[in-house]
Amino acid sequence: MNLRRWTDFLVLLAVWAGMILLFGLLRDSFFSAATLGSVANRIPALALVATGMTLVMVTGGIDLSVGSVLGLCGAVVGVVMADWQWGLPGALLASLVVGTLVGSINGVVSVKLRLPSFIVTLGMLEIARGLAFLTTDSQTKYIGAPVESLGAPIGGWVISPAFIIALIVVACGQIMLSHMALGRHLLAIGANREAALISGVPVDRPRILAHALLGTLTGLAAVFNCSRLGSADPNAGIGFELSAIAAVVVGGTSLMGGRGSVIKSLLGVLIIATLEAGLVQIGASEPIKRVVTGAVIVAAVLADGWRRK
């Protein structure tokens, strides 16, 4: 990292630490095992989607459908495990296939038809949510122990298998973005698509692949979400896209593309998860939580605009 990247990283760490200190002063119970467990359980699914969202957003794109896709993939997990009695490996594979398929459709339609990704994924948001209700017949599917082991703390600690897998995925995402050809192509496309095209960068395939990878990671996040709840709810994931986008923007990824970091998106995830847990602890109402989260997004966008000057 150069000096500016280190500075951004340290600022994010300071914001996270300050937030923990603030909520700790406001509410003693913030440092309880229950609160830490709540944050740790929320992080894996959000970190996976934020990783994929970073890959899409560095190209200048965005995906507004991830919350509904998470609900659809979770619905598939619920049906195959609760109704068809499949095991966890089969359900995981089914969820990954569905997530990858939906992500690929988002990528192909937006890239090949030259349509704005926010319009395409806004339509997919409704399609996927409707399919989630059709898949489960609008019923919550109770799964229980077969899926809960993924989110269960190891040895009484707050860290679960899902938490460890999410950290490994984040590390792989950062290595890919910083050191592999695909990552360099994604950043080049986001910085200047025409210049990337003239330089021989295949501008369509990397963008489609970024959407497909986001779909795959959303499929895995759906399994983690089911493990946290012990069930599959077709309403799952409502508003999840806002949390993921907020985490990525707070982590410093530019909405205009060309700049981003998966590791810093993870710090954005920690900030958003801590903020949401802290607001719950101090008794903030749902409207207040939405106002605060929206204000954080606006502040991050303003900071991005300031950095680009």
Q: What's the rounded mean pLDDT across residues 272-285?
A: 87
Q: What is the mean pLDDT of the chain?
A: 90
- How far, rounded to the nearest angstrom, does the alpha carbon of residue 266 sit from its chain's CA centroid? 9
Question: Is the Cβ–Cβ distance between 187 and 177 less than 8 Å?
Answer: yes
In terms of average pLDDT, the best of 72-81, 255-264, 272-281 is 72-81
> Please, what sign has the CA dihedral across residues 31, 33, 34, 39?
positive
Phi, psi of 271 (to 5 degrees): -65, -45
For residue 30, the 8-state DSSP code is: G
Pairing between β-strand 231-232 and β-strand 141-142 as defined by DSSP bridges: antiparallel
pLDDT digits (tens, 9 = 90+) for 141-163: 999 888 888 888 776 666 889 99
Model's pTM, two decimal places?
0.92
